[in-house]
Structure 1
Amino acid sequence: MAVESATGSELVKVVALLGAAVVMVPLFRRLGLGSVLGYLAAGLLIGPFGLGWFSDPQAILHVAELGVVMFLFVIGLEMRPSHLWSLRGEIFGLGSLQIGTCIAVLTGVALLFGLPGKIAFIGAAGFVLTSTAIVIQLLSERGDIALPRGQKIVSILLFEDLLIVPLLALVAFMSPMPAEHAGSRWADIGIAMAALAGLVAAGIWLLNPLFRLLAAAKAREVMTAAALLVVLGAALLMEIGGLSMAMGAFLAGVLLSESTFRHQLEADIEPFRGILLGLFFLAVGMALDLRVVAANAGLILSLVVAMMAAKAVCIYAIARLLRSSHGEALDRAVLMAQGGEFAFVLFAAASAAGVIDAQADANLTAVVVLSMALTPLVVLAVRRLLPEKPQLSMDGIELADGLAGSVLIIGFGRFGQVMSQSLLARDVDVTIIDTDIEMIRSAGEFGFKVYYGDGTRLDVLHASGAGSARAIAVCIDDRVAANRIVELCRADFPQARLLVRAFDREHALELVAQGVDYQVRETFESAVLFGRAALEELGVDPDEAGQVSEEVRRLDAERFVLEVAAGDVRAGRPLIIGNTPPATPTPFTTPRRGSRRLDPTGEAES
């Protein structure tokens, strides 16, 4: 008996879903099978064809699709319009070539299995629509989304999301049922275009002012509510226009990608995205109708194998034709060989329009669900049977591998570019890694050799030559990531002097506690020089202004020593704080009651 009919409690359903995920996902990850397969197994276990705790997985699946929507919104936040424009060749060129070829080949495969023409075409078109949720989750777990090969896969997935619209229109044209009125299709097109234009207009003129007002109100929960409103509102607007909800959320993310609130939005959405995406995989596992599989086991299992193999071969051949390496082509073929969640939408629409019957809908749905469940296993098997070495060159971006240099620079933004000038002027052998693809390409145009590499990963640090470097300079602007890199370097590369860019005074104290050899606050020296220039502009003698600046540095160093001593850090290691050695500490005036305590540089102290 289903849980909902036995207890009538919505809370019991929530507890059952969360309990299944909490038990199965860690178990499958421990076995090396990945979280996606864990969710699918948990859904199958508690679904109508397992323990029978749930009888209506389609209702859960409809809600859980919001996880895919939020996933696309987060990806959109990482895709600035200029970057998205640079991918237009992959989105429309590579995407259309791969999808067109796969539909033709898969239709032929379905015809060979004796399926009627319309059913074969609908089945092939649905199977071509790769599971965005599964592929991006696997790429995210591997840390490959930002890599060039990951960006190509994301581009194809975006084109497939766009493809659902013309496919649904094609289903309407194929329907034997009479249209309600002749102008209905043109009206639908007009509504879709109006919805799209409305979303773009809101993104350009309304969203940033809205978030500025909410930020000024300093109500964190309202910011979170606004983030959810943007995602769900964009999805709803696209659904009203007959377009893809996920594409609407992605477009909203792109429109906010250059906003100052981008990181806050991502942090607010992340918990909901993760939970709903897990719920989506659970619902897909529940949706596997074992009775349909048992009744047509020969046809369904054969179709799954044939469809996945044919799609993988097509993807591999197209990738190689467009000069991708063997490893990249194989990886893309294995990851994208399954059907996806939009196939369910297409099959349901075709069934409702009378293009396919209910039995064909059930069989094709089972084929897609089985292919989704098999994908993590196939990826794992291929990786173990055919281990691939990291590729050294992709689209002009080289991965950090087998490198060596006297100094390893992690992060080549504004700070890293300036600090590297002194080293390069003395012909110091440097290795530079970063994760910003556009910056790497831009740096290459100016003669800088920057490798792609995530400094928070120990394997990347080894590949970048950290084990033989005399010094490691951490120049990134991410406080959490910088702390992680310091932790790894102190534990595994003690031979290297460690120099780190600090975000603020509090972060500088954390870095000293971690045992760095040198740290400097990213704005300290520039602010001191700015203050000196201000004095000179006011008519103060340059020598006197210089003395004042040195006094500011001295007082700051003294205060810093007191704070370090109060925290009992460094464990006897020599302390290097800034440009001026600390002198004897001097007392500081007690602040007035109710005021914020300020250090000599004007930085607020909590």
Structure 2
Amino acid sequence: MNEHHMAGDAMLSGVFLLGAALVFVLLFRRLGLGAVLGYLVGGILIGPQVLGLVGDANTILGFAEIGIILLLFLVGLELSPSRLWRMRRDIFALGAAQVVLCGLALFALILALMGFTWQAALVIGLPLGLSSTAQVLPLLQSQGRLKTEFGQKSFSILLFQDLSIVPLLTIVAALSRAPVEAGTPQGFQLVLNAAIGIAVLIAAGKYVLNPLLALVGRVSERELFVIVGLFAVCASAALMEYLGLSPALGAFIAGVMLAESPYRHELEADVDPFRSILLGLFFLAVGMMLDLGVVAANPLLIIGLAAALVAVKAVVIYTLARLFGLDNSPAVIMALLLSQGGEFGFVLFSAAEGALLIDPAASSLFGAVVTLSMATTPFLMLIAGRLARRRTESEAELDDPEASPVTSVIVVGHGRFGQTTSQIIQASGREVTLIDIKPDVINLSNEFGRKVFYGDGTRVDLLRRAGAAEASAILFCMDDRELDADALVPIQETFPKTKLFVRAYDRRQSLALQPAKGVKIRREVLESAICLARDTLEALDCDEAKIERVVDEYRRRDLERMRLQREAGDLHAGSSMSFGGEDSEDFDPLATE
């Protein structure tokens, strides 16, 4: 009977949690304030301090933190190791500068205003320097901004913040006044554990998960992809948790290790629904945990501290963004986007409380400050959006593609490549819609009498406004070296009658685009390189028939080598098909058929 009542209570709590999410997220979405604020308000109302419909917020929060772990796994799936390596400067320089400077600035503010000891001010100020991964990353993903320059820098900061949990916990442990528990890793042991854990996950991804996915792919059971995806997330998170590190970091590394797997699309599709539901529960639990008694006793103090937290972080992050090359408008957006406190603050406040560095009242007070600062993010993003629009309107006439007439061809990217292709198509008598995301390119095109519309041409909603459903062809001519099949497959599915043509930067990108079946891919320098080789051979008085045979053989070998590389997933495959190598296949240019 007790088990029956427990199951019934769990189901009833689920009804209240999901009902609150449904009502308040719908309401706040309609008001344009975002889902997160709806979850927080819903959690406050059904929590133990208002209606009391659901209790034990700590248990719900612990369960819902799996949503953050799944989020980091999905983000890792979008970042191959090579791409992550290219981001190393932003991760370790910009990320470290943000954590240190924001943490020290808030430490100084708390030390000056609150009368705490320097140890207490430090273990509160440093966690306040962290931002909310659970809030910021879904916002960037839903708006299609994760691959923009400020989106990449924002993600780099969030990733370093996750890495910084190790040194921050080490600082708390080093200052602790509580007796050290036996077996608890301390100091450099945590750093060593981190190195061991990362090495184990890299090896497991290469030698266990990828072969396992290949086996599951041959069986073709969708349920097994769900099981393998969740197994990878849980195992990697559990390993990091066992080593005293952030479980989310382990899930992220597992995602990166699978980023180049041919099955990552299935993994992403299968895991994403779990992530969405659990992140919603996370914010509901945060709202339930808000100590309204502390808020009622110190309303002005909490509001003032939350405002100071947002202001200090926004100023520091804006300054760093400009120093790291962002223009004013994206720097403002990034500063406001990352200005709130983060969920790891609750973890570190709890650790500081257990270390006897702060009392429970201070932990509750600053937990309320973090929650309130998280609630300000939707409003701040509305302000940032208006500032960005006002600035771009003053600099250039940037029209949405919705204002374009319906044409048979859409060209995305009007740089040196897009200009040539669009002019040739227009010369044939066909109308073309031009789209570019760079205001300076649009301004320059306007000077030559060419109307170019503004927007991210890889977004399905923007292409729909541009008339892609009625277009016969879409050409992606922009210099986007990160463009891959992930961006093209949704476009194919949405506009199945429209032919897609893509400019690829090099062989690597051509291979990354291959999973999008039926898309015509052209490497940007291939034809010009062949033409230059032909011109050289003609100048050397080479026989025309010989030139034709050599070029035809090169094209044949190049296609065959591309096929072998795609099937093997290895850039070194088919090396014997290239000319000039030690193991090259023999070829006689004088031979006849």
The normalised TM-score by structure 2 is 0.71
- 1:236-275 matches, cutoff 5 A: 236-275=238-277
Alpha-carbon offset, residue 425 of structure 1: 12
Q: Which residue is 1:282 aligned to? A: 284
Alpha-carbon offset, residue 385 of structure 1: 6.5
Q: Which residue is 1:454 aligned to? A: 457
Alpha-carbon offset, residue 363 of structure 1: 1.0
Larger deviation, residues 210-219 vs 280-289 = 210-219
Alpha-carbon offset, residue 472 of structure 1: 4.1
Q: Which residue is 1:500 aligned to? A: 499
Alpha-carbon offset, residue 384 of structure 1: 4.3
Counterpart contact for 2:329–2:387, Cα < 8 Å: no
- 1:177-326 matches, cutoff 5 A: 177-179=178-180, 185=186, 186-326=188-328
Q: Which runs of 4+ in 1 moved over 6 A?
A: 4-7, 398-406, 424-435, 449-452
Counterpart contact for 2:69–2:248, Cα < 8 Å: yes
Q: Which residue is 2:168 aligned to? A: 167
Using the alignment, how far apart are the partners of 1:321 and 1:251 within structure 2?
Answer: 29
Alpha-carbon offset, residue 522 of structure 1: 5.2
Using the alignment, how far apart are the partners of 1:434 and 1:221 within structure 2?
Answer: 41
Structure 2: gaps of 5 or more residues? 438-451, 477-483, 502-516, 521-593
Matched, 1:14 2:40: no
Q: Which residue is 2:491 aligned to? A: 481
Q: Which residue is 1:64 aligned to? A: 64
- 1:113-132 matches, cutoff 5 A: 113-116=113-116, 117-132=118-133
Counterpart contact for 1:40–1:281, Cα < 8 Å: yes
Alpha-carbon offset, residue 95 of structure 1: 1.1
Using the alignment, how far apart are the partners of 2:393 and 2:232 within structure 1?
Answer: 39
Counterpart contact for 2:178–2:355, Cα < 8 Å: yes
Q: Which residue is 2:372 aligned to? A: 370
Alpha-carbon offset, residue 211 of structure 1: 1.0
SS of aligned partner of 1:228: helix
Using the alignment, how far apart are the partners of 1:123 and 1:381 within structure 2?
Answer: 28
Counterpart contact for 2:162–2:249, Cα < 8 Å: yes
- The RMSD of aligned alpha carbons is 3.8
Pick closer, same or farther for the CA change 1:129–1:268 going to 2, 3 Å: same
Q: Which residue is 1:54 aligned to? A: 54
Equivalent residue letter for 1:454 = G
Percent of matched pairs sharing the same residue: 41
Q: Which residue is 2:583 aligned to? A: none
Using the alignment, how far apart are the partners of 1:387 and 1:425 within structure 2?
Answer: 31
Deviations 1:66-100 (A, max 9, x none): 11111111111100111111111111111112222
SS of aligned partner of 1:79: coil
SS of aligned partner of 1:408: strand
Pick closer, same or farther for the CA change 1:155–1:430 going to 2, 3 Å: farther
Deviations 1:545-574 (A, max 9, x none): xxxxxxxxxxxxxxxxxxxxxxxxxxxxxx
Counterpart contact for 1:456–1:485, Cα < 8 Å: no
Q: Which residue is 1:30 aligned to? A: 30
Alpha-carbon offset, residue 421 of structure 1: 11
Alpha-carbon offset, residue 213 of structure 1: 1.4
Using the alignment, how far apart are the partners of 1:173 and 1:246 within structure 2?
Answer: 23
Using the alignment, how far apart are the partners of 2:324 and 2:519 within structure 1?
Answer: 44
Using the alignment, how far apart are the partners of 1:329 and 1:142 within structure 2?
Answer: 17
Alpha-carbon offset, residue 114 of structure 1: 2.2
Deviations 1:82-123 (A, max 9, x none): 111111111111111222221121112112322312222222
Q: Which residue is 2:78 aligned to? A: 78
Equivalent residue letter for 2:59 = A
- 1:319-358 matches, cutoff 5 A: 319-358=321-360
Alpha-carbon offset, residue 27 of structure 1: 1.3
Alpha-carbon offset, residue 195 of structure 1: 2.3
SS of aligned partner of 2:71: helix
Using the alignment, how far apart are the partners of 1:457 and 1:153 within structure 2?
Answer: 23
Using the alignment, how far apart are the partners of 2:314 and 2:367 within structure 1?
Answer: 19
Equivalent residue letter for 1:275 = I
Equivalent residue letter for 2:32 = G
Counterpart contact for 1:433–1:455, Cα < 8 Å: no
Using the alignment, how far apart are the partners of 2:285 and 2:344 within structure 1?
Answer: 14
Using the alignment, how far apart are the partners of 2:364 and 2:240 within structure 1?
Answer: 27
The normalised TM-score by structure 1 is 0.69
Pick closer, same or farther for the CA change 1:388–1:123 going to 2, 3 Å: farther
Using the alignment, how far apart are the partners of 2:222 and 2:283 within structure 1?
Answer: 30
Aligned length in residues: 468
Counterpart contact for 2:131–2:158, Cα < 8 Å: yes
Equivalent residue letter for 2:325 = R
Deviations 1:511-547 (A, max 9, x none): xxxxxxxxx9559xxxxxxxxxxxxxxxxxxxxxxxx
Equivalent residue letter for 1:140 = Q
Pick closer, same or farther for the CA change 1:183–1:99 going to 2, 3 Å: closer
Q: Which residue is 1:509 aligned to? A: none
Structure 1: gaps of 5 or more residues? 436-448, 487-497, 503-519, 524-606
Using the alignment, how far apart are the partners of 2:130 and 2:267 within structure 1?
Answer: 29
Q: Which residue is 2:91 aligned to? A: 91
Equivalent residue letter for 1:106 = L
Using the alignment, how far apart are the partners of 2:182 and 2:54 within structure 1?
Answer: 41
Counterpart contact for 1:191–1:241, Cα < 8 Å: yes
Deviations 1:285-326 (A, max 9, x none): 111110111122232221111111111111112222333211
Counterpart contact for 1:304–1:367, Cα < 8 Å: yes
Using the alignment, how far apart are the partners of 1:300 and 1:313 within structure 2?
Answer: 20
Alpha-carbon offset, residue 380 of structure 1: 2.2
Counterpart contact for 1:338–1:372, Cα < 8 Å: yes
Pick closer, same or farther for the CA change 1:392–1:128 going to 2, 3 Å: farther
Using the alignment, how far apart are the partners of 1:379 and 1:351 within structure 2?
Answer: 33
Matched, 1:137 2:138: yes
Using the alignment, how far apart are the partners of 2:399 and 2:122 within structure 1?
Answer: 41
Pick closer, same or farther for the CA change 1:72–1:450 going to 2, 3 Å: farther
Equivalent residue letter for 1:24 = F
Larger deviation, residues 164-173 vs 52-61 = 52-61
Q: Which residue is 1:110 aligned to? A: 110
SS of aligned partner of 1:409: strand
Pick closer, same or farther for the CA change 1:471–1:194 going to 2, 3 Å: closer
Equivalent residue letter for 1:109 = L
Using the alignment, how far apart are the partners of 2:250 and 2:455 within structure 1?
Answer: 31
Alpha-carbon offset, residue 378 of structure 1: 2.5
Equivalent residue letter for 2:313 = K
Using the alignment, how far apart are the partners of 1:421 and 1:302 within structure 2?
Answer: 55
Alpha-carbon offset, residue 377 of structure 1: 2.2
